[in-house]
Structure 1
Amino acid sequence: MHLCISGFLPDEDEDDSLKFDLDLDEYFNDRIMQLLGHSSLNAMAVGEWLLTKDQIREISDIIGKPLPTDLDLFIGVLV
């Protein structure tokens, strides 16, 4: 199992198509779960979680890649 980040245009836009998709390396799972306050990937697997701007910035620092800040980003678990 690994984490995936999906990005969509903000809610006020009528286009609901996927604009950003990033599968994260399993190496980052523990640090990101701690950041988000989840105890396990199973606990996170119940849905997708909207990330705050602060969480986006911190995850970007963890993975060493910039993430878009102009989209609504969600994080979820892929099996």
Structure 2
Amino acid sequence: MCLCITGFLPDEANDDSLQCELDVAPEFNQAVLDLVGWNSLEESVRHGVVELTAAQVRQIESVLGQPIPSDLDICISVFA
């Protein structure tokens, strides 16, 4: 299992196609889980796809050391 960050155009765009996808490297899992408020990958499966706040996205960018598009609705989920 791994954490997957996805980005979609805002709702008003009427386009639900995937615009970006980022699989979180295993060494960053716990830091990202902490930012989202989840204890484990197993627990996060129960949450399904969760939209991240802008603050969470910026914090995750800092952890991962790479930018995440700010013009998209960004979500996180577990990919098995």
Q: CA deviation at 1:12?
A: 1.2
Q: CA deviation at 1:28?
A: 0.6
SS in 2 for 1:33: helix
TM-score (norm 1): 0.95
Aligned length: 79
The whole-number CA distance in structure 1 between the counterparts of 2:10 and 2:36 is 21
Q: CA deviation at 1:49?
A: 0.9
The whole-number CA distance in structure 1 between the counterparts of 2:36 and 2:23 is 17
Q: CA deviation at 1:42?
A: 1.1
What letter is aligned with 2:38?
H
SS in 2 for 1:76: strand
Q: Which structure 1 residue ranges, 5 or more long, are not aligned?
A: none
Q: Which structure 2 residue ranges, 5 or more long, are not aligned?
A: none
Q: CA deviation at 1:68?
A: 0.4
For 1:6-45, list aligned pairs within 5 A. 6-45=6-45
SS in 1 for 2:67: coil
SS in 2 for 1:75: strand
The whole-number CA distance in structure 1 between the counterparts of 2:23 and 2:37 is 20
SS in 1 for 2:14: coil
More helix by share: 2
| Identity percentage of aligned residues | 46
The whole-number CA distance in structure 2 between the counterparts of 1:63 and 1:71 is 18
List structure 1 segments (4+ residues) > 3 angstroms apart after TM superposition: none
